Amino acid sequence: MEVIIENVILDNFTIDFMLLFLSNKFTNTPVSKVGIILASLFGTGFSLISPLIALPSVFWIVLKLVIAFVIVLLAQCSFYKIFQRYFWFILLTFAFGGGMIAIFYFFGVDIYIGANITYFSEMPVGFIMACAVGLFILIITQVSRHLSAKRYAQFSVKVELCIRNKRQILRGFIDTGNNLMTKMNTPVVIINENDLGRWFTASERLDILLNNYKNLNLKNVQVLKVYSVGNSSNLFTFEADYLRLNNRIFDVAVGVSTKPKGLSKNFEILLNNKLIEV
């Protein structure tokens, strides 16, 4: 059997690194890049000598499970969540291997499945690795979305916000740190400027941004000074017709955030702590 050392090193090191990185992400374990590099080098070294080892299939499985445990242990150099990390490393190895086999079949790459997955192709190894990295990015993106949605779910509620007799259903986030009140002691809820299009035309949105709101029939317009750690900003506010939460009607003022990422993509309105207390 012909083994191209450079390909073995690049393939195994890259894949081991990504699997260990993902395993730590799944278990909320701090990522130690130095530890992951050392563990990936160890796994790559084993892959280099594995074609020279002749063992029955059962013993190969046991040996690989032991090597996988050592790799996971080296990545963190501690037993912190070791069995959780080991579980995810094994599970992701199967998932990642299956994904790579599917990619090989899709591009007509000849593969041999033995002690290791060996492929025979005239394609540059960089292209194969690009497919692996693409699969890695896809997995970690989906994981991040899932964890983010799960984290926000317990603080998310649906609300109905009515402005100028136009009612809209929004995903609200319960922010216990939002205690903003207007000068008339009205709780302030916050929405993104981009979402004003639910109630206002493009020209009306522009007027609001330019503080030219006299012809918009907005009630009790105010500009509040908002302080955060290290800086302060102005928040344009006006009173809504009403906000409905859990079948209760509230008088609220709407604050317009002009920051592109003022709110998370998981919700559309930041609720005031006073509404939750009620």
Cα–Cα distance measured from residue 135 to residue 137, given in angstroms and rounded to the nearest whole number: 5
User: Based on the domain organization, do 139 and 235 belong to the same domain?
Assistant: no
User: Based on the domain organization, do 98 and 174 belong to the same domain?
Assistant: no
User: Based on the domain organization, do 40 and 139 belong to the same domain?
Assistant: yes
Higher confidence at residue 11 or residue 220?
220
User: Based on the domain organization, do 160 and 243 belong to the same domain?
Assistant: yes
User: Based on the domain organization, do 23 and 97 belong to the same domain?
Assistant: yes
User: φ, ψ for residue 250 (rounded to 5)?
Assistant: -130, 145
Local structure of residue 140 (DSSP, 8 states): H
- Give the end of a domain, one of 152, 176, 210: 152
Task: Read off the tokens for 220.
Answer: 């009790």
User: Based on the domain organization, do 65 and 163 belong to the same domain?
Assistant: no
User: Based on the domain organization, do 23 and 39 belong to the same domain?
Assistant: yes
User: Based on the domain organization, do 148 and 161 belong to the same domain?
Assistant: no
- The CATH number of residue 165's host domain is 2.40.70.10
Collapsing DSSP to helix, strand or coil, 246 comes out as coil
Residue entry with tokens 């032991």: 66
- Give the end of a domain, one of 152, 185, 220: 152
Partners of 225 in the beta sheet? 234
Q: What percent of the chain has pLDDT over 70?
A: 76
Give whichever of 23-32, 156-165, 173-182, 268-277 has the largest mean pLDDT.
156-165
Q: For the whole model, what pTM was predicted? A: 0.47
Q: Which domain holds residue 25?
A: 5-152
User: Based on the domain organization, do 11 and 148 belong to the same domain?
Assistant: yes
pLDDT at 124 over 80: no
pLDDT at 187 over 80: yes
Give the pLDDT of residue 268. Answer: 85
Element (H, E) at 240: none
- Give the end of a domain, one of 126, 152, 178: 152
User: Based on the domain organization, do 169 and 48 belong to the same domain?
Assistant: no
Mean pLDDT, rounded, of the chain = 77
Give the pLDDT of residue 1. Answer: 41
Collapsing DSSP to helix, strand or coil, 18 comes out as helix
* Cβ 212 vs Cβ 226: under 8 Å: no
User: Based on the domain organization, do 247 and 228 belong to the same domain?
Assistant: yes
**Number of domains observed in the structure of the chain:** 2
* Cβ 166 vs Cβ 199: under 8 Å: yes
User: Based on the domain organization, do 204 and 261 belong to the same domain?
Assistant: yes
Count of Cβ atoms closer than 10 Å to residue 189 Cβ: 28
pLDDT in tens, 140-174: 777 766 666 666 555 678 889 999 899 999 988 87
